[in-house]
Structure 1
């Protein structure tokens, strides 16, 4: 697997990205150290669970409700104090990269405002560059979407050749009136980056 990176690497603060696969976590961590934010189930996954534990990941219980907010905010505050950039995926799930960027869930944007940290954006996309992958597709065999089981998907992914990841980092999101304004501004930038990558792919740029 190979990857390319465009844009200035974040040094601290928060980073939000679109989300295509469990592979996203490994790709971002290969670029530079991050504190990742992931759903609590990831902690118990084979292999990826151990990797994310060692990376100091903040695990968030989906649908935990108000009773979990205090613990999540405290964990996020500690993550920002680590000095590493904190990366999370506010879509809350993965997509196939072709159906657009989902609406952002706003909960974790509270921590960005509460701690007064910089917010940056990022976008990830994948490409199959080896002709040996006949019949395979990024949407089905790299992106992990819906009810696809982890084991069979991982088996297909490991059988691919010439998987290329492209990461683009955007500038700081400066519209910070509240979490609604902040999340919508961030999503708008991520959408622009993802749509730009898709257009380039379609026209062969």
Structure 2
């Protein structure tokens, strides 16, 4: 592992516990099979979805991603206005930046607005999810090769200039969600500046029932050297798990002085505890 890469102190043993209600093994196993079947259906159906028009394809991706989250037994709570500018009008796309807690973050964001994800290259080799991510236009980055970073910035910038919405988790690794999280790396924000794109901060959190208690649910955390199958099992055995995605006000890329200032501003918006207060929201 490159010593310059971001690392989190979170570990499965210390951070991934669940203090709420638990499902029995038969019900949890049924959800695990349902969730994997939903992912497999998306993998098999991706080539056919690619032949649809943009609007119908986006609608289908949203419904499928929402179905993945629900199939694993997780409710979805949307707070704020998720609409993004239409990238087909010739205007630049939007750089969507969010904190990173779990593999669930990816279908959760896609359930609200599909975009091109920036992901570590290792995900390409994951069963089911890897091939699906590649077919969905994911931009893969080799985290161990810092020399590849300028090329990654150029690729993101080109996608934004082409009207695509690009989803980035700028912490560079997952955190359990119980603390302030990691520092937002500035590289992707340089791409937004180069493309004159808007930055849309998004806060992701997971709550155990009752969600009103605002108790972080560690069962969703996918941190450290946690095996994927262990994380999947924790999610399906945790009853009453709610995923919340909160949309914060957009930030013009040309506003702050440079990419570091832009990254700090987006990080502050996502980390601001006042963003966790429960205004009017949508439950699914």
2:241 aligned partner: 163
Q: 1:152-198: per-residue Cα shift (whole Å, max 9, x none)?
A: 12122223333211111111224321111111111111111xx2366
Q: For residue 62 of structure 2, what is the aligned residue in structure 1?
A: none
* 2:131 corresponds to: 50
Is this contact kept in 2: 1:129–1:164, CA < 8 A? yes
From 111, 119, 128, the equivalent of 1:38 is: 119
Please name the residue that 1:133 is paired with: none
Determine which structure has more spread, i.e. the larger CA radius of gyration.
2
Q: Which residue of 1 aligns with 2:260?
A: 180
**2:153–2:187 CA contact under 8 A, matched in 1:** no
Distance 1:93 1:44, change over 3 A: same
CA shift at 1:84, angstroms?
A: 3.4
Q: Distance in 1 between matches of 2:260 and 2:196?
A: 16
Q: Is the 8 A contact 1:106 1:183 kept in 2?
A: yes
Q: Which has the higher helix share?
A: 2
The residue correspondences of 1:24-103 to structure 2 (distance < 5 A) are: 24-66=105-147, 68-103=148-183
Decide which moves more: 111-120 or 78-87: 78-87
Given that residues 33 and 84 in structure 1 are in contact (C-alpha distance below 8 angstroms), is that contact kept between their aligned partners in structure 2? no
1:145 to 219, 223, 230: 223
Q: Secondary structure at the match of 1:164?
A: strand
Once the 2 structures are TM-superposed, how far is the Cα of residue 81 of structure 1 from its aligned partner?
A: 4.0
1:203 paired residue number: none
CA distance in 2, matches of 1:170, 1:153: 28
Aligned to 1:3: 76
Report runs of 4+ in structure 1 exceeding 6 Å deviation.
none
How far apart in 2 are the matches of 1:117 and 1:168? 20
Gaps of at least 5 residues in structure 1 are: 131-136, 201-205
- 8 Å CA contact retained: 2:221, 2:231: no
- Taking the aligned partners of 1:8 and 1:156, their CA distance within structure 2 comes to 30
* Bigger proportion of residues as strand: 1
> In structure 1, what is the Cα distance between the partners aligned to 2:102 and 2:151?
26
- Secondary structure at 2:207 match in 1: strand
Query: Taking structure 1 as the reference length, what is the TM-score of the superposition?
Result: 0.84
Moved more, 115-124 or 55-64: 55-64
- CA-to-aligned-CA distance 1:106-144 (integer Å, 9 cap, x gap): 1221111111111110001111227xxxxxx822x2111
Residues 1:126 and 2:197 aligned together: no
What is the aligned-residue RMSD (CA, Å)? Answer: 2.1
Segments of structure 2 that go 5 or more residues without pairing to the other structure are 1-73, 86-92, 211-215, 279-284
1:82 Cα offset (Å)? 4.6
Give the 3-state SS of the residue equivalent to 2:261 in structure 1.
helix
